[in-house]
């Protein structure tokens, strides 16, 4: 089956790497905003992950004419009423500094006992082509916020996101295990059938 280009609306190398791994096996050629320097800047000002993912997919698909995946994800901490939420990447300011974000999170939770440090990673994935949105799906993964960072794999809040049944953070578990349960894995698993149907339709139309 001939490959179809899928443009992932991100410049985040960590996210792109995960998406490439999770979509392995599909006949797609993945590109990113790094391959489209003239792409419009997307202001992520939506109230929800779904809003932001849809905005990314729609605007970049309209610009490029390509099948586009827009993704927005973040951490929602129970004791912080769902924060940092859609502001996860900018929790400590505009610099998008993972370590600074993690330090701020730990400061805010310094008096919260382990049993009350429940949290969930959330990921919304939107798929669009030049005609509009094809689908938007979500995936979640529950865990707890550790008392201190641990592990060197992954990115973002992974060194603090503890999976109780393993007693390890995502950053300790590594990609092989993370990719079987992560919020992004669960969202992309739902998105995969949409991509497959689109690719099949495009391939048949070219015959």
The domains of the chain are located at: 4-205
Q: How confident is the model over 146-162, as pLDDT tens digits?
A: 999 999 998 999 999 99
**Cis before 84 (ω within 30):** yes
What token pair was written down for 148? 């201190």
- pLDDT at residue number 1: 56
For 36, 45, 53, the CA distances from 86, given in Å and listed in that order, are 25, 8, 11
Residue 22's pLDDT is 79
For the entire predicted model, the pTM comes to 0.91
Classify domain 4-205 by CATH architecture: Alpha-Beta Complex (3.90)
pLDDT by position in tens, the chain (length 207):
578 899 999 988 888 888 888 788 888 889 999 999 999 999 989 999 999 999 999 999 999 999 999 999 999 999 999 999 999 999 998 777 999 999 999 999 999 999 999 999 999 999 999 999 999 999 999 999 999 999 999 899 999 999 999 999 999 998 889 989 999 999 999 998 998 888 888 767 666
Q: What is the pLDDT of residue 202?
A: 76
Q: Catalytic residue positions?
A: 72
* pLDDT at residue 103, rounded to an integer: 96
Which tokens in the block code for residue 180?
A: 């079987």
Q: Are strands 118-129 and 4-8 parallel, antiparallel or unpaired?
A: unpaired
Three-state secondary-structure class, residue 162: strand
Residue with tokens 């939107």: 126
CB atoms within 10 A of CB 177: 15
pLDDT at res. 206: 63
């Amino acid at each position: 089956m001939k490959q179809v280009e899928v443009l992932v609306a991100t410049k985040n190398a960590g996210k792109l790497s995960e998406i490439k791994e999770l979509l392995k096996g599909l006949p797609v050629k993945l590109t990113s905003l790094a391959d489209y320097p003239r792409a419009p800047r997307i202001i992520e000002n939506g109230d929800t992950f779904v809003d932001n993912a849809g905005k990314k997919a729609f605007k970049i698909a309209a610009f490029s004419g390509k099948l586009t995946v827009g993704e927005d994800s973040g951490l929602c901490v129970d004791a912080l009423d769902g924060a940092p939420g859609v502001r996860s990447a900018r929790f400590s300011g505009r610099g998008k500094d993972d370590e600074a974000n993690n330090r701020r999170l730990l400061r805010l939770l310094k008096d919260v006992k382990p049993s009350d440090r429940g949290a969930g990673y959330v990921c919304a994935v939107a798929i669009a082509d030049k005609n509009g949105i094809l689908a938007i799906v979500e995936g979640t993964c529950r865990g707890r916020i550790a008392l201190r960072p641990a592990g060197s794999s992954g990115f973002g809040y992974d060194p603090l996101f503890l999976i109780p049944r393993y007693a390890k953070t995502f950053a300790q578990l590594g990609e092989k295990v993370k990719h079987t349960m992560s919020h992004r894995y669960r969202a992309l698993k739902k998105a995969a059938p949409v991509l497959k149907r689109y690719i099949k339709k495009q391939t048949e139309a070219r015959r």
